[in-house]
Amino acid sequence: MVRKTTEIRKTTDRRQKKFKEELSPEVLIGQIVRERRKELGLRQVDLEGDEGLDRSYISKLENGQFQPCLRALVHLEKVLEFSPGDLFKTLASRTEKLT
pLDDT at residue 34 in the model: 96
φ, ψ (nearest 5 deg) of residue 98 = -85, -20
Q: Are 53 and 62 in contact (CB under 8 A)?
A: no
pLDDT at residue 77 in the model: 92
Q: Are 73 and 87 in contact (CB under 8 A)?
A: yes
pLDDT tens by residue, 23-64: 788 899 999 999 999 999 999 999 998 777 899 999 999 999
pTM of this structure: 0.73
Structural domains of the chain, ranges and CATH numbers in brackets = 25-98 (1.10.260.40)
Q: What is the mean pLDDT of residues 62-71?
A: 89
pLDDT at residue 50 in the model: 75
